[in-house]
Structure 1
Amino acid sequence: MLRATPHHDDCSVTKALDIIGDWWALLILRNAFHGMRTFDALQKQLGISTSVLSSRLKTMTEAGVLKKVPATGDGRSFEYRLTPSGHDLYPVLVALMQWGEKWRPNEKGQRLLLIEKATGLPVQGVEVLSAAGLPLKPWDVVPVAGPGADERVRELIGSAG
């Protein structure tokens, strides 16, 4: 169940969490990135109740993260496919996976490796980069209110200093 967003909470993080801020949603996305498309496959692999899965798929479909399309070769069933908005969440999932491997490792070794098809080499870590392509840490960045910032965002930025 998604939390009710206060009407005055116009924050980009809050807006994103309203759609993908529950662990089932993130696991559904993980599976979608690995090519899983059907309700039955998602339900079986995740062990999620059908009502919870239906709810999360509806939320992500209505938000434009996934699209529901007729399954190829079967006019009675559907597939859930990532949209461009959904594809933009890939770095988020990769960053979560990399954080989990670093800070919650398995003693037997890495659980999942991401290998670039073209080179056969492991992908690099997800980082925040400068305009020049250099890695940045939080202390290297200054938050600045944008034109859409409301008073709460300005308050948040003001309290950081």
Structure 2
Amino acid sequence: MSRTPLNHMDCSVAQTLDIVGEWWSLLILRNAFHGMRTFDAFQKQLDISSSVLSARLKKLTEAGVLKKVPCRDDKRSFEYRLTDAGMDLYPVLIGLMQWGEKWRPNTIGQRILLLEKATGQPVHGAEVLSADGRPLKAWEVQPVAGPGADEHVHELIG
């Protein structure tokens, strides 16, 4: 079943979902954040068909989220590495992980703990912060139309 592209919508969420909104893409990114780089490693760990994996890697690469570079050891093989744009998706993945741990928990305990490498201390995760660093809830944030807002954005935020 093919999805309808969202690239016609002048919406930052729709534009982002058009690139990373398919579940395999998010799982590929999750694995990339855990250090996975090769096609074979992604395929083995995700148990994904090579055609689906190829298509997702191509889309993520064309969108500038991943870059395909020759392997250091074998110049005939390639690695997929996160770009700056890809790295900026880290809080999104952590937010999804936090939501899943809260609302779809494992009865034994948290699946993955995030620790700061330098200190070994737990990381608090993804939050929306005020200018002075306080965590904010959705009802504490006021969306305002920006200079690039079209009629749909003005209608959405009223």
The reply to whether TM is greater than 0.5 is yes
Q: Deviations over 1:67-115 (max 9, x none)?
A: 0000011011000000000000001111111111111111111111111
Residue 6 of structure 1: how far off its partner (Å): 6.1
Correspondence for 1:93: 93
Judge conservation of contact 2:91–2:125 (CA < 8 Å) in 1: no
Runs of 4+ off more than 4 Å: none
Q: Deviations over 1:117-151 (max 9, x none)?
A: 11111111311000011111111111111011111
Q: Which runs of 5+ in 1 are unaligned?
A: none
Hey, what's the Cα distance between the residues in 1 that align with 2:58 and 2:105? 33
Highest relative contact order (Cα 8 Å, sep 6+), 1 or 2? Answer: 1
Distance change in 2, residues 1:122/1:13 (3 Å): same
Q: Which runs of 5+ in 2 are unaligned?
A: none
Hey, what's the Cα distance between the residues in 2 that align with 1:157 and 1:67? 36
Correspondence for 1:127: 127
Size of the alignment, in residue pairs? 157
Hey, what's the Cα distance between the residues in 1 that align with 2:47 and 2:31? 13
Distance change in 2, residues 1:30/1:88 (3 Å): same
Q: TM-score, normalised by structure 1?
A: 0.94
Equivalent positions of 1:38-57 (< 5 A) are: 38-57=38-57
Hey, what's the Cα distance between the residues in 1 that align with 2:102 and 2:51? 33
Distance change in 2, residues 1:92/1:137 (3 Å): same
Q: TM-score, normalised by structure 2?
A: 0.96
